[in-house]
Structure 1
Amino acid sequence: MSDLSTASGWIAGIALLAAMAPHQVRLMRLLLLVGGIFGVLYFAFSGNVGLELVLAVLFTLLNAARLYQLWNRARSGSMTSEERELFDHVMQIEDPSKQNRLRDLMQWRDGKLGEVLIEQHQIDPPLIYIAAGRVSIKRDGQFVSECGHGEFVGEISHISGNGASATVTVVHPLRYAKIDRDALAQLSQSLPEIGRAVDNAFNRSLAVKVVRMNEAIEEAQN
């Protein structure tokens, strides 16, 4: 039993370490599931049937459930209207396989009124796509503009690699996607067509912001 326990412990540790490397969520979940299974075997073979075994079982079941959700979503091909608009109209990516790769990098959330999504000077601020609602943009405490439906925030930091240049606060109940910046950068390198589509979407979003800021300046001068 001791040999089986040791082998299971080594495999569990290697799988958990390996899960930190990939940026594809499904592969990460699969490695975590493998690590969890061998973690359960490790505690079972070593005769430790206490809290550690219970936690290992819960960890394994949670990752199994998450992996099933990802697999089932990819198999069904069903998308929410928000995802469909993002991929079809904003990013203009039609390939379902590439859409599913991008879906794995996103977490859809609801933003409450007054919630601060990004702080000025924040290191590695999140990359956010706004599906509904509005946010205010303030620099050094001064109002700059607002962003809303179909726009990104945090894309300048994503492109430049610098900290956040402004504070972003929810001013109207928000529905948004938080995108994994590092995973998106890696995916864009491995699939250049996705990188180009993302860059074009960012450029269009930035162009809208520049036009809006210029209009605001003209109104203020008049």
Structure 2
Amino acid sequence: MSFWPNADHWSVKIPLDTPHRRLEVLADTGVVQLRDADFECPASEYEALEYMDWKSGGDTNFAPIATADGELDCRGFWDKGKTDKDAVWTSNAAIAPSIKNYVDGVGANFGRVRTIKLEPQDREAAIRSLHRDDNNRFNPDDEGWVVRSWVELTDNPDSYMLVMDNDAEGLPDPTTEMRIPLHKGARFVVDTQRLWHVVVHTGSAPRYALITSFESGPVLDEWIQREMVSPATV
């Protein structure tokens, strides 16, 4: 391996242990696989969104569908003084009603909602972007921990999200590696502030997926219990 994160990686500084309310279903592995989506977002919707050149996890572009203030902005909510919750729909939401209806249907407090367009990258290239997310900046200690969910919009069965837990030094532990398959309709919830993650995309065309931040709490827990394949398995 030509690259591996070290103690100077910016992710290491992101807090892991906090008093926030968390979901028991994510306590073991940090991942829950859900049943495949029972709806389809037509390509005519997600391809028509307004995308922004924003790099995260590789050669990526993002279409913001809900943001801190309803503006088309890929920056973290903290730039507006907010936690990644209580989002406002953007003009992109009207272009992709199937996505808006899906997120609203979960019922939980949501933050950023966006689709990602990721260009192909092999494992070696992907590892260079391995990271943890800063989901809970400004999140009051007595509120729910923010996690993220995915819905795969394109079919890439040979691609996968690579996730790893932390070793004693707060670096990715290769012995904990899990691979989440990215076939069309695949859905999963990940504690991305806890787990190091990146996507290995072996396809020949861009991969599209929906990413949504949700607040941990009874509503999200009940939704996961209804929708999951089995607790914390991938």
Instruction: Specify the TM-score bucket, using the shorter chain as the normaliser.
Output: 0.3 to 0.5
Q: TM-score, normalised by structure 1?
A: 0.39
Higher helix share: 1
Task: Indicate the structure whose relative CO is greater, using CA pairs within 8 Å and at least 6 residues apart.
Answer: 2
Larger Rg: 1
